[in-house]
A and B are shown apart, each in its own frame.
Chain A
Amino acid sequence: MARIIVVTSGKGGVGKTTSSAAIGLGLALKGHKVVLIDFDIGLRNLDLIMGCERRVVYDFVNVINGEATLNQALIKDKRVSSLSILPASQTRDKDALNKENVGKVLEDLGKLYDFIICDSPAGIEAGAMMALYYADEAIITTNPEVSSVRDSDRIIGMLASRSRRAELGLEPIKEHLLLTRYSPKRVAEGEMLSVEDVEDILSIPLLGVIPESQAVLKASNAGEPVILDTESDAGQAYQDVIDRLLGETIDFRFLVAEKKGIFSRMFGG
């Protein structure tokens, strides 16, 4: 059975789509069959981050309305054949999605894929609720910053009350904390909430810490998910996230600022 994972946050701009793209591609690179779904109806962006924006012909809403088949709408990734993308619609037809028709699409996709990654829109409106409704697991993307942490807590509440698993009284959604845009230097200076602070407040298990990195903007400029940048700290941190999702125990990296002492500066160490 496919693992349905929602990438969510409440707050916008914290790195949901960046993370969805990196995690989807990373899992596919490990040989898994993965489909990435953009739930942000009206504000499609996953295609751009994945670098397949010019190949979009049909979208999620077309499939829901029966105007296209799943096969017609799914875009096969050019880099990894086991990865497909289901783009969101650009029309403002926000009411197109409902529990029944989304459930049907997910059921069909579940027969073809090992992982279904749902990239949630920001907010707590219908679109975000739809993205999390069928989830087995949730990656709660959070910045070490007050408004993001507060919104994440609200979303955690929604996962526990508004999901299918909650409604049917099944085993609750497995929650993962993904801390993004983390700056160890600022944490050391007392200017930023630390990993431990955020874990204390949200009390959900930590999946990964992605350091603030110039590689992320470069990756989105190029339409190449940052996980492909294996030299970068962010790319490596996402790689660790993949290994943890696949059940491995990996030490957390990039949690302390690199100390550039006078010697390392002199000798380039």
Chain B
Amino acid sequence: MALLDYFLRKKEKQVTTASRAKERLQIIVAHERNSRNKQPDYLPQLTADILVVLRKYIQVSDESFSIKLDNKDGDLNVLELNIELHDEQSPS
């Protein structure tokens, strides 16, 4: 019977621990990469709100406006706002 077991075991290709390792790593690494690059949830709404306020006073196109949350030296977060003003725009 032992001999039979041997051949049967060879036939069925069971999931190896290496393939489990790969699968687990792919999931966790993808997850961690995502959170590394992730902006906070409030950022899109904040961006929209700021644009509404700005447009009360000046004309701002989507291209001339950028907002970025930067992590400096690990513990300092900096919110960077870039607004390009064009000469022909005057306050309304």
Query: In the bound complex, do residue B25 and residue A201 qualify as a contact, i.e. CB atoms below 8 Å apart?
Result: yes
CA–CA, A190 and B26, complex, Å? 17
| Contact pattern, B 18-48, Cβ under 8 Å of A = 1, otherwise 0 | 1101101110110011001000000000000
Query: In the bound complex, do residue A146 and residue B24 qualify as a contact, i.e. CB atoms below 8 Å apart?
Result: yes
List 22 A-B pairs, Cβ < 8 Å: A146-B21, A146-B24, A149-B25, A149-B29, A150-B25, A150-B29, A153-B32, A154-B32, A157-B32, A161-B36, A187-B18, A189-B16, A190-B16, A190-B17, A190-B18, A193-B21, A193-B25, A197-B18, A200-B22, A201-B22, A201-B26, A201-B29
Taking CB atoms, residues of chain A closer than 8 Å to B17 are 190-191
Mostly helix, strand, loop or mixed at chain B's interface? helix
Chain A interface residues (CB < 8 Å from chain B): 145-146, 149-150, 153-154, 157, 161, 187, 189-194, 197, 200-201
Query: In the bound complex, do residue B36 and residue A191 qualify as a contact, i.e. CB atoms below 8 Å apart?
Result: no
Query: In the bound complex, do residue B36 and residue A192 qualify as a contact, i.e. CB atoms below 8 Å apart?
Result: no
Query: In the bound complex, do residue B21 and residue A157 qualify as a contact, i.e. CB atoms below 8 Å apart?
Result: no
For the complex with contacts A146-B25, A150-B29, A157-B33, 16 further pairs of A-B residues with Cβ separation under 8 Å are A146-B21, A149-B25, A150-B32, A153-B29, A153-B32, A153-B33, A187-B18, A189-B16, A191-B16, A191-B17, A193-B18, A193-B21, A194-B18, A197-B22, A200-B26, A201-B26
